[in-house]
Amino acid sequence: EAEGVKSFILEFEDPKQKESFYYCPGQFIEVTVFGVGEAPFSLSSFSLEEGIIGISVANVGEVTAALHSKKPGEFLGIRGPYGRGFPLEEVKGKEDILFIAGGIGLAPLRPLINQMLVAQANFGKITILYGAETPQSFCFREDLANWDNKENCQVFFGVRKSLPQLMINGRETVALISGPPIMNEFAILELLRKGVGKEKIFITLERRMECGIGKCGHCAVGKAGVCREGPVFSYRELEELRLTERIY
């Protein structure tokens, strides 16, 4: 997908698991590389009809390096999905949708973007802002080009450049954010300045999760467990939990 990033398509071996698996964009699964360990990943693709799921993995550690060495046909373990995803039902209506993503952060938004474009009559205008550290770090280039060619959908590159210049109706915009902390901070402050409601800004927290079910405490922020109450929170929820200084 990009320099240091690979996408993997996973197919269920057990037909019963295939039939029972259901996923909401923004949720995550725990992927086990046998003999190495496990790590959490949001799905970057999901086909209910075909019974396949996809993850996009940056090579940044022991488990991800082991994943990058896998060959087609080899087995992995998965459990989940876990957590709370993006509130698709809550944002249905005629409000405009603004996606803001940085680097591999586009992965958890990708299924949601595709889902919304299929049911575009349920939403207003869709705008996607995407940035990465280098041109080689841009993920899902083909998707970005295809989305930009869709009716009532626009793609802009460079979050810091595009967001301040973007003309939006803050009262009628829902923002969905996934990216590195420095981008998240900039995007949230800019959205608030443009009048987007705190309850209409949703962010998926990038924080290391282990057990996925809220038992180990590894992903705890205050009294909240990212894997259980999140990983998707509205900015208002984060304020109420007094976690706003921790999302950056």
d(C-alpha 63, C-alpha 44), whole Å: 18
- Do the domains 5-82 and 96-246 sit in the same CATH topology, yes or no? no
Domain range list for the chain: 5-82, 96-246
CB 112 within 8 A of CB 86: yes
- Cβ partners under 8 Å of residue 100, min gap 6: 129, 159, 163, 175, 176, 177, 178, 179, 183, 187
How confident is residue 2, by pLDDT bands cut at 50, 70 and 90? confident
In CATH, what is the architecture of 5-82? Beta Barrel (2.40)
For residue 147, report the phi and psi dihedrals to the nearest 5 degrees.
-60, -40
pLDDT for residue 225: 58
At 146-200, the pLDDT tens digits run: 999 999 999 999 999 999 999 999 999 999 999 998 999 999 999 999 999 999 9
- In this predicted structure, the answer to whether residue 41 has a pLDDT above a threshold of 60 is yes
- For 96-246, CATH number out of 3.40.50.2300, 3.60.9.10, 3.40.50.80, 3.40.50.970 equals 3.40.50.80
Alpha helices in 51-95 (DSSP H): 62-68
Classified as helix, coil or strand, 129 is strand
- Please give the order of strands across the beta sheet that includes 5-11: 5-11, 52-58, 37-47, 28-33, 77-82
d(C-alpha 27, C-alpha 43), whole Å: 8
At 101-151, the pLDDT tens digits run: 999 999 999 999 999 999 888 889 999 999 998 888 899 999 999 999 999
Q: Tell me the pTM.
A: 0.89
Per-chain mean pLDDT for the chain: 87
CB 246 within 8 A of CB 185: no
At 21-31, the pLDDT tens digits run: 888 899 999 99
Over residues 207-232, the mean pLDDT reads: 58
d(C-alpha 119, C-alpha 126), whole Å: 12
Helices 141-148 and 106-118 pack at an angle, to 10 degrees, of: 30
pLDDT for residue 64: 95
At 230-248, the pLDDT tens digits run: 689 999 988 887 655 555 4
pLDDT for residue 146: 96
pLDDT for residue 18: 83
